[in-house]
Amino acid sequence: MKPMMSKRAAASKARKSGSDQFRFFCNECGKERMHYVSDTKCVFCAKQRSKREAEKRRNDPEARKKRSDAVRKLYHQDIGRSREDQAAKQWRKATGAERMHAWYPEEQEAMRAVYAGLIEAKRGDEPDKKLKTFRQQGDHLIPKVGKGVIDGEEKIVVNGLHTFANLAPLSAVLNQQKGSDFTPDSCRYQMPANRHPGGAWDRELTAAERKHVEELWTEEGVPIEGSLRTHRDILDRDAKAYEEHVRKTYGMEISVDPSWFECRVSPEWKTLEALPGLGFAEEPDEETVGAFADLLSHEIQQMQSGEAAE
Ligand SMILES: [Zn+2]
């Protein structure tokens, strides 16, 4: 078919009507084909071209390496952005969502910061075996696809959002163990993001936390008040990160009730006794200190003679 108007005119007509493609005769493939409005190139030919290039890369290790190096360089240029993009893509794939939540653009900066701070199993560009144990992932506190039990059957009960409030760094090992259970009754990080009773940072201990604090005291001699302070400080740190995000992102100030910071040791704990001979409650006597000092100096002497022998 003989073209009625120039290619450029056809493209501009299509652009005005709001489409991003238009039909036109392609000299290269000798047929009428769809063309991109953006660069007036034949869609079919462009696809063939990129297929050929991909094939060439597959067969040419040097080209392949060049491309993967370029991709890697781009990835590391803005690691937070790259990891977050990847995570958002995975979230859409897992949940089947077609788009991100409405306030996603507002949160991206904060979320990229979380991803940028994750510990990698690499030191510089080199893999590091020791760091592998500490490698972190961005954890969706309420799982992307969370399962719970309804009428004795395991079912999908929740889709956690890819939002700042639902995100935390977690060691990769733990993240993989954690699975996709949704149990907000026992897991405080699946509760709503606030400091109030029933919230993720409600400072009242859950049954499991209470048991843990008691065990730390009775079995290891860690004072209850110290455990409570640690518990409070960890919750405060996480709550503050969220409150800071809300302040920076939305210009909103969340007031915190000063009583949240009080440290209360409940009366029934006063009667709990730690195993004798444990903990830091008592100062060691002089004899123990002396024996320990002897042991140390002996070890040091051994180390030094070992070094000298080498
Ligand atoms: Zn063509």
pLDDT digits (tens, 9 = 90+) for 124-150: 778 888 888 888 999 999 999 998 888
User: How many angstroms separate the alpha carbon of residue 52 from the centre of ligand 1?
Assistant: 14
pLDDT at 96: 93
User: How many angstroms separate the alpha carbon of residue 19 from the centre of ligand 1?
Assistant: 19
CB 35 within 8 A of CB 57: no
CA distance 195 to 36: 53
User: How many angstroms separate the alpha carbon of residue 41 from the centre of ligand 1?
Assistant: 8
How far are the Cα atoms of 100, 164, 175, 252, 258 from residue 247, in angstroms, in the given order? 22, 13, 29, 5, 19
CA distance 127 to 70: 19
User: How many angstroms separate the alpha carbon of residue 23 from the centre of ligand 1?
Assistant: 11
Strands, DSSP E only, in 146-245? 146-150, 153-158, 167-171
CA distance 74 to 77: 5
DSSP, residue by residue, 118-143: PPPSEETTEE-HHHHTT-EEEEESS-
Beta bridge partners of residue 149, listed in sequence order: 154
CA distance 301 to 303: 5
User: How many angstroms separate the alpha carbon of residue 46 from the centre of ligand 1?
Assistant: 8
Query: Which DSSP symbol is given to 151?
Result: T
Q: How confident is the model at residue 2 (pLDDT cuts 50, 70, 90)?
A: low
Q: Is residue 1's pLDDT more than 60?
A: no
User: How many angstroms separate the alpha carbon of residue 25 from the centre of ligand 1?
Assistant: 8
Q: And the tokens for 251? A: 């210009």
CB atoms within 10 A of CB 33: 18
Q: Mean pLDDT in the chain?
A: 87
**Average pLDDT of 245-266?**
89
- Model-level pTM? 0.59
Q: How confident is the model at residue 310 (pLDDT cuts 50, 70, 90)?
A: very low
CA distance 169 to 138: 5
User: How many angstroms separate the alpha carbon of residue 6 from the centre of ligand 1?
Assistant: 16
CA 100, 105, 107: angle at the middle one, nearest 5?
A: 100
Q: Is residue 195's pLDDT more than 70?
A: yes
CA–centroid distance for 274 within its chain = 38
Q: Is residue 189's pLDDT more than 80?
A: yes
User: How many angstroms separate the alpha carbon of residue 3 from the centre of ligand 1?
Assistant: 14
CA distance 175 to 138: 9
Strands, DSSP E only, in 124-278? 126-127, 136-140, 146-150, 153-158, 167-171
CA distance 26 to 46: 11
**Average pLDDT of 4-24?**
90
User: How many angstroms separate the alpha carbon of residue 151 from the centre of ligand 1?
Assistant: 59
Q: What is the pLDDT of residues 28-86, one digit of tens each?
A: 999 999 999 999 999 999 999 999 988 888 888 888 888 888 888 888 889 999 999 99
Q: And the tokens for 250? A: 């939305």
User: How many angstroms separate the alpha carbon of residue 10 from the centre of ligand 1?
Assistant: 16
Q: What percent of the chain has pLDDT over 90?
A: 44
User: How many angstroms separate the alpha carbon of residue 157 from the centre of ligand 1?
Assistant: 49
**Average pLDDT of 242-247?**
90
CB 196 within 8 A of CB 162: no
**Average pLDDT of 86-94?**
95
User: How many angstroms separate the alpha carbon of residue 159 from the centre of ligand 1?
Assistant: 44
User: How many angstroms separate the alpha carbon of residue 44 from the centre of ligand 1?
Assistant: 5
Q: Which residue has the higher pLDDT, 75 or 200?
A: 200
User: How many angstroms separate the alpha carbon of residue 55 from the centre of ligand 1?
Assistant: 19
CA distance 229 to 236: 10
User: How many angstroms separate the alpha carbon of residue 99 from the centre of ligand 1?
Assistant: 33
User: How many angstroms separate the alpha carbon of residue 35 from the centre of ligand 1?
Assistant: 8
**Average pLDDT of 81-94?**
95
User: How many angstroms separate the alpha carbon of residue 54 from the centre of ligand 1?
Assistant: 18
User: How many angstroms separate the alpha carbon of residue 30 from the centre of ligand 1?
Assistant: 7
Q: What is the pLDDT of residues 268-280, one digit of tens each?
A: 888 888 777 665 5
pLDDT at 279: 56
CA distance 91 to 105: 16
Q: If you count DSSP H runs as helices and E runs as strands, how many of each does the chain have, helices first?
A: 11, 8
User: How many angstroms separate the alpha carbon of residue 280 from the centre of ligand 1?
Assistant: 81
User: How many angstroms separate the alpha carbon of residue 154 from the centre of ligand 1?
Assistant: 52
pLDDT at 308: 54
CB 188 within 8 A of CB 202: yes
Query: Which DSSP symbol is given to 145?
Result: T
